[in-house]
Chain A
Amino acid sequence: MDSTARIMRAVANLTRSWYLRCGHWLQGLPVSPLLIAAVVMLPVGVVSSALLTPTRQIWIHLWDTLLPEMLSNTFVLLPGVGVGTFLLGTGLAWLMVAYRFPGQTVLNWLLVLPMAVPTYVLGFVYMATFDFAGPVQSILRQWFGQNIWFPEIRSGGGAILVMVLVLYPYVYLLAKAGFYEQSGATFEEVRVLGYSRAESFFRIALPLARPSIVAGLTLAMMEALTDFATVRFFNFPTLSDGVIRIWHGMMDLRAASELSGLLVIFVLLIILFGRSLRGRSRYYQLGGKVLGIPPVNLRGWKRWFATSTCSLVVAVAFALPVMQLFHWALIEITRTPAEAISVYLGLTFNSLLLSVLAAGFATAIAMILANGVRLSEGRVARTAAHLATMGYAIPGAVIAVGILVPLSTLDHTINDLLQSWWGITIGLIFTGSVVGLTYAYVVRFMAVAYNSVESSLEKITPNITMAARTLGASPWKLLWRIHLPLVGPGMFVGASLVFVDVMKELPITVMLRPFGYDTLAVWVWQMAAESIWAGASLPALIIVIAGLLPVILLIGAATPKRSK
């Protein structure tokens, strides 16, 4: 009895001293953030190293076939989308902030709705509507004869138009925030100095909002870079499309990863573009109340011009396309036999499953990351968090390739080992499985989850925890009554944002899905590629409706309240 106790104590002491020594050794090294950053950065590392060790034949072959066209298209698409979203987003934002006109409050948030529509959905709706066989050209031919000229929708211009209509809200929201944050006093001072309102816009408001606007532009361009479906619909293949074509067409992982490396260079270019435009100065006006630029009432025809411009944008980017989808969906539902509807149930189930899995993992990992950063409060941990949330900038196709390489190596190693030991083959476990898909989604959408979780974690100051403890709270009570209620909403918001993003995500799903595993997004893509519009419409509509959820959340969060 006595000796048992003594042994127990010795063991306890030994563990304690070991723990203390290791604790000391690891002290200052934020283990979990570093680990998460390493796992998340692995795919990017894989493709980057592939680019650094290029294979000659691959590049010669690429150069002889796809590469020149894809390169020039990418070089056209990015500036096109940049300029388009800048003009539309900044113009609308200025209209909202600096003027008063009828219907403004409603239009203010209606203008954000196009964000809910994935580019490939708007893409196929436009293609169906404006194509040679589509209703618009048919009617024009009826009225004006067979030889009527119409711009070719399947072109770079068409692709850029569609992307601008879907992506301008990024710039719109951030530009609006940038304009709102400005002090009205500065703006009025410039006017007192003798400048007109328009001149003050170019001299003061626009330069001050520049960092926000550039941030919005960067996001829009990254979205344009990750897209492959729209550009394929419009016969305007870019690098993302190239990666997927190489993988699907030739199953050549090496070539796909080297081309992905080239895409990473484009990402860096966008980031550099953002940095250089944002400039060195940080335009924050500190102190004082932010009163905002004083809005003026528009008069006469200008009132209605403003209202109708905004309405037109909402109509062409959201209302009309969604109505068209409804129309097709109704046709599809009425003519589909009841048992065939189960196809759609299956698709929805698959999408939900992936979205829930990814949302759960991303949020949980984001929580661990945020906690690690908080506990260590060091530079290393913060850098690790930055790296771990880099995925939002990396095109989906790149992440997919970067995950395929290590996973297939792992699979082949396992198979070789099993083969040589026991002579059995179990096939590929990780490649083309839900594991790989979830991994890729988590990498791509970590930033979304992390930002929500981190901002809510900020509400728990260390003293709040301590206050609860000195008031006699047990660990359980602390968790249930203080920590979860404070972080819960943030975690929920983060999880639902990831949920919707995964639902919309196409490149990763197309590349990594298990064989024959169709989701809503994949179905839309496949049907639209075959020009079966009605078949694509129902899943597209479900995606758009799900996509409205975060947009509504965003509207709530991004509408600054004007102080009275």
Chain B
Amino acid sequence: MAFKLNRDNVCARKAWSSHVLLDNVSKSFDKVKAVSGLTLVVEKGEFFSLLGPSGCGKTTTLRLIGGLDRPDEGAITIGNEVVVGEGVWVPPEKRGVGIVFQDYALFPHLTVFKNIAFGLKGCSPKELKQKVMELLEMVGLPHMAHKYPHELSGGERQRITLARSLAPSPKVMLLDEPFSSLDADLRDELRHETKWILKEKGTTTILVTHEQEEALSLSDRVGVLNNGKLEQVGTPDEIYHKPRSRFVADFVGKADFVHGWIEGSLVICDLGMFPLNGDIPDEVRDVELMIRTDDVDFTVEPGGNTVVIEAQFLGAQILYKLLLPDGKAIHSIKPSTKIIPVGSRVKIKVDTKHIVVFRK
């Protein structure tokens, strides 16, 4: 059920707005297929995320775009220029691409100022100083110019790395899990700061991450990678509510899967009957329904056939585990303003708008 763009379609879109285009790109290391048959269009000024579990080929994809590795097959276009494929090879220093690495890779022997100035070419010393100071202001660290990387905290390093890669004004910015080594508070702040800096500059950005929350909250569109293949591309809303595959449904957001079957235009399961929306081939009868925890609601009713067996306090919300009459369990998330005690008998209501059906 992998997402597939056909080539004509890709080329048609390329003509008007595409900025980074991967056409059927593959890369193997020894026996491992790190990336296979990846086709992807990222539009100009877009903030795009590649989301997937560790080892699914995210870093490899970024390295291919940046020119740090060569694909075994396929082509990559940046702007209007083919950078690799069809016998063409543009080295990384000529691609106009900025990269923020997972480990930052600041130059340890250069000051913050010289790190940022490294990529600025052909400026007079005065211009250079002005540009570097502008960048430092932008990332909110104007007084750090003369420190060395080892004197900075994790968050400061991340900001300086961003400033350094923005210095040559790249057309495309690649971010490889840049926030993963920061603590929670700082991470949230930096994510949004980074996004707005890049949006303001109009830089096309590809962020790589294994945290769905990060991808969903920052991106215009998200691509979900699994085993080197693109499972689905869509807006955060589409990815969350209309997963195209069981993998995406599992990986993004919290959901329960219940067994059901199809009767005409209805799906039937232990929770009731729902109208079938979407296209399921005729011959399929046994299906699996994905139900998001936030689509399950319940009310306390002494005669209800469902029991609250666990309540996990998450701060603003509470995650309940409910025992259905047939012995299966399902989760539901509700605001923590009202607490329903464990052991209560309740009645379930499921919001059918977002139920997704997968063939078994």
Could you tell me which A residues sit within 8 Å of B by CB distance? 459, 461, 463-464, 466-474, 481-482, 485-486
Contacts and interface: CB of A to CB of B under 8 A. Distances in A.
B105 A471 contact: no
Contacts of B98: 470-471
Nearest to A489: B109
A466 B107 contact: no
B99 interface: yes
B105 A463 contact: yes
With most chain A CB atoms within 10 A of its CB, the pick from B63, B105, B164, B165 is: B105
A482 B121 contact: no
22 contacts: A461-B103, A464-B105, A466-B63, A466-B68, A466-B99, A466-B101, A467-B99, A467-B101, A467-B107, A467-B165, A469-B92, A470-B67, A470-B165, A471-B93, A471-B118, A471-B164, A471-B165, A473-B118, A474-B93, A482-B107, A485-B109, A486-B108
A471 B168 CA distance: 7
Interface in B44-100: 63, 66-68, 91-95, 97-99
Interface in B282-304: none
Interface residues of B, number: 27
A459 B101 contact: no
A502 B164 CA distance: 45
Contacts, number: 63
A461 B103 CA distance: 9
How would you classify the secondary structure of chain A's contact residues: helix, strand, loop or mixed? helix
Contact of B119 (A459, A463, A471, A474): A471
B40 interface: no
Contacts of A470: 66-68, 92-93, 95, 97-99, 165
Contacts of B107: 464, 467-468, 482, 486
Contact of A468 (B91, B94, B118): B118
B208 interface: no
Contacts of A468: 107, 118
B119 A472 contact: yes
Nearest to B109: A485
A461 B107 CA distance: 10
Given A472-B168, A481-B118, A467 B93 contact: no
B121 A467 contact: no
A477 to B, nearest CB: 9
**Which 4 pairs show the lowest CB-CB distances between chains A and B?**
A471-B119, A463-B105, A467-B105, A463-B101
A350 to B, nearest CB: 37
Contacts of A472: 93-94, 119, 121, 168
Interface of B: 63, 66-68, 91-95, 97-99, 101-103, 105-109, 118-119, 121, 164-165, 167-168
A461 B105 CA distance: 7
A461 B108 CA distance: 11
Nearest to B102: A463
A461 B118 CA distance: 17
Contacts of A466: 63, 66, 68, 92, 99, 101, 105
A69 B291 CA distance: 89
With most chain B CB atoms within 10 A of its CB, the pick from A461, A471, A481 is: A471
Contacts of B108: 459, 464, 486
Contacts of B97: 470
A370 B105 CA distance: 21
A470 B93 CA distance: 5
Contacts of B92: 466, 469-470
Contacts of A463: 101-103, 105
Contact of B93 (A469, A482, A485, A486): A469
With most chain B CB atoms within 10 A of its CB, the pick from A464, A468, A472, A474 is: A472
Given A459-B108, A466-B101, 10 more contacts: A466-B66, A467-B101, A467-B164, A470-B93, A471-B164, A472-B94, A472-B121, A473-B93, A481-B118, A486-B107
A356 B230 CA distance: 58
A176 to B, nearest CB: 25
A420 to B, nearest CB: 52
B215 to A, nearest CB: 22
Nearest to B69: A466
Contact of A486 (B67, B105, B109, B164): B109
B162 to A, nearest CB: 12
A14 B251 CA distance: 48
Contacts of A459: 108
A481 B115 CA distance: 11
Contacts of B63: 466
Nearest to B164: A471
Given A459-B108, A464-B105, A486-B108, A469 B91 contact: yes
Contacts of B68: 466, 469-470
